[in-house]
A = this chain, B = another copy of it.
Amino acid sequence: MSVTAAQGFVAAGVTAGLKTSGRPDVALVVNRGRRKSAAAVFTSNRAKAHPVLWSQQVVGDGIAEAVVLNSGGANCFTGPFGFQTTHATAETVAEALGVSAGDVVVCSTGLIGVGDQVFRDKVLSGSIAAASALTVDGGLDAATAIMTTDTKPKQAVVAGDGWVVGGMAKGAGMLAPGLATMLVVLTTDADVDHGGLDDALHSATRVTFDRLDSDGCMSTNDTVLLLASGESGVVPDAEEFRAAVTELCADLAEQLQADAEGASHDIRIEIVGAASDDDAVEVGRSIARNNLFKAAVFGNDPNWGRVLAAIGTTSAEFDPYDVDVSMNGVRVCHAGAPDRPSDAVDLTARAVHVLVDLRSGGHEATILTNDLTHDYVHENSAYSS
């Protein structure tokens, strides 16, 4: 049910011919509820795609009526023509729905530099087709239409007390199309204004999507959108709402990690004993981005030396000679020296847990990543994406 689990939302997914595979490639989600609150988080990459630049303006007033999404082209670095395409897409959807173009969010995903007249024609015709296919059961179709190299649609729902929040996501962290990778649309029928949505969304993404770091490559198109219809008539407790949105985002983030096609391991890097949350995140990220470590995990090699070499590059507060490292429950390094033998670590399962104790405080963070594999190199070298 995903984006249509919440009352007040309809959705559709159609085939516009953007994908050479002939699979669905244009999705539309519309809020028909009594309120049209919206909040969003966008990529922090300075190289932002045209749809991101447009959508930042749309949600600036905390209101959005609809979001149209296409796969098969990122419409990024496509010049003034590309921005006009995004604008025309919003206008087309607005006209079909009888709303203002200024309330239509636009998301695109695919290859950077793609956005010519043919692309525009297909996106516009697809948008019109989607607008006439909207149903309360259209969640799965929408989730399917935003897939790129994802092997399965990603959806989740969390129930509150008289309201629900649901959503869909696309993205394949380690895959090339992953460059313009993560699009997420969340919907709720809880009665929440823009401020409440914004608070919950930022709080949730900070500890979920922001801590998913498959390959260290930041996208130009990342968008996470949260829409509220108010149709349940229930004003949720702010803390409960925040917790539900966080749970939903964590679920979708793990689905993204698990479907990173090139990956053979899902790695949870847990940093404890940090002097601050920022320190814990910085240390976790340094490991998640270390190619030598990631290649070792692919080879089922518990190479803890690479973990220490990675964290030594950070400015976090700790003594490199007073750090513990455990892999899948085996403490292989204690106080900066070998502890239990590496042979005792079994890395053959897909799930890998790396625990680093910085012994410098009470803060912690978990970063999700994947290993560096032959399939990752293949996916990102054999196809332009």
Contacts and interface: CB of A to CB of B under 8 A. Distances in A.
Interface of A: 45-48, 74, 76-80, 82, 111-113, 176, 178-179, 215-220, 289-292, 295-296, 298-299, 301, 303-306, 308-314, 320-321, 333, 335-338, 342, 372-374, 376-385
Given A47-B309, A82-B337, A112-B305, 17 more contacts: A45-B313, A76-B305, A77-B338, A78-B337, A112-B303, A112-B304, A112-B306, A113-B305, A179-B306, A216-B291, A220-B312, A291-B291, A298-B377, A299-B381, A372-B377, A372-B381, A376-B377
A318 to B, nearest CB: 9
A75 to B, nearest CB: 11
10 contacts: A46-B313, A77-B305, A78-B338, A111-B305, A112-B308, A113-B304, A113-B333, A217-B290, A295-B381, A299-B380
Nearest to A304: B113
Nearest to A79: B337
Contacts of A82: 337
A380 B298 CA distance: 9
A179 B295 CA distance: 12
Given A45-B309, A320-B47, A376 B295 contact: yes
A77 B335 CA distance: 9
A306 B382 CA distance: 15
Given A113-B338, A291-B216, A333-B77, A381 B309 contact: no
Contacts of A305: 74, 76-77, 111-113, 179, 220
Give me the 6 closest cross-chain CB pairs, A-B, nearest first.
A112-B305, A47-B312, A299-B381, A79-B337, A295-B380, A45-B312
Contact of A47 (B176, B311, B378): B311
B217 A310 contact: yes
A144 B336 CA distance: 31
Contacts of A298: 377, 381
Interface centre among A82, A299, A309, by most B CB within 10 Å? A309
Given A337-B79, A338-B79, A217 B309 contact: yes
A292 B79 contact: no
Nearest to A334: B79
B320 A48 contact: yes
A46 to B, nearest CB: 4
Nearest to A111: B305
Contacts of A338: 77-79, 113
A349 B133 CA distance: 50
Contacts of A111: 305
A187 to B, nearest CB: 29
Nearest to A381: B299
Contacts of A292: 176, 178-179, 215, 217, 380
A291 B373 CA distance: 12
